[in-house]
Amino acid sequence: MKVSVLNIKGKDTGRSVELSKSIFEVTPNDHAIYLDVKRFLANNRQGTNKTKERAEITGSTRKIKKQKGTGTARAGSIKNPLFRGGGTIFGPRVRSYSQKLNKNVKRLARRSALSLKIKSKSVSVIEDFNFEAPKTKLFTDIINALDLQGKKSLFILGGINKNVYLSARNLERSKVVTNSEISTYGIMNAQHLVFLESSLEQIESNLS
């Protein structure tokens, strides 16, 4: 499949690139996409919630009243979970929510996500560019030229470019990643993907 290459002003350069059918034109596997998105979100959970249980509460362990004859329920410790200030019953503990997924399933999920974006015509390819210094306005001009204002956009670079990354960092609806950082969640969460020419070859190498 051929896609026209645009410049940073949104104009056609007269050139086109051939996108690999094995990556951008596969039959989407919805379940693989679901598994990879679930894994991504689970791995981002901190799992640092913690409440003190009965054994962790500071307090005396003496029996606070006699066993019988009070007319109320028996109680053995001030740290009883039923008392105010007592331990928490079955409270959250520090844990890891991370999930593992087969490497081939992750690749299939990303290929499926890219294929869905191609089908919905939500992919653009632009020629490589760079900024002499980080400047948000320059990046905003590119977004406006590509008619992406108001849309969630994901720019995929061929390699690390600090100036471009810093220029987009303050923009809520735009994100910049390198070709090795793309995720199924990032692809599906974006309304439009913008590939720099230099990123395509590496993406095809990673996902083939």
Residue 88 DSSP code: P
Burial of 108 (0-12, 13-18, 19+ CB in 10 A): buried
Verify that 194 and 112 share a domain, yes or no: yes
Verify that 107 and 90 share a domain, yes or no: no
Verify that 91 and 113 share a domain, yes or no: no
- Pull the structure tokens for residue 60: 């005396």
**37 within domain boundaries:** no
Verify that 129 and 159 share a domain, yes or no: yes
**153 within domain boundaries:** yes
Verify that 144 and 185 share a domain, yes or no: yes
pLDDT at 1: 80
pLDDT at 174: 94
**82 within domain boundaries:** yes
**41 within domain boundaries:** no
Say which residues have a Cβ less than 8 Å from residue 46's Cβ, sequence separation at least 6: none
Verify that 107 and 92 share a domain, yes or no: no
Q: Does residue 2 register a pLDDT over 90? A: no
Task: For residues 193 and 125, give the distance between their C-alpha atoms in angstroms, rounded to a whole number.
Answer: 8
Domain membership of residue 76 as a residue range:
46-96
Q: What is the CATH number of the domain that holds 160?
A: 3.40.1370.10
**38 within domain boundaries:** no
Residue 132: C-alpha distances to residues 29, 138, 167, 180 (Å): 42, 10, 11, 24
The residue behind tokens 């992406």 is 148
**25 within domain boundaries:** yes
Strands 153-157 and 12-18: unpaired
Query: How many domains does the chain divide into?
Result: 2
pLDDT digits (tens, 9 = 90+) for 63-103: 999 999 999 999 989 999 999 999 999 999 999 999 999 99
Q: What is the DSSP string of 107-168?
A: HHHHHHHHHHHHHTT-EEEE-----SS--HHHHHHHHHHTT-TTS-EEEEESS--HHHHHHH
pLDDT digits (tens, 9 = 90+) for 155-181: 999 889 999 999 999 999 999 999 989
pLDDT digits (tens, 9 = 90+) for 107-144: 999 999 999 999 999 999 999 999 999 999 999 999 99
Verify that 161 and 201 share a domain, yes or no: yes
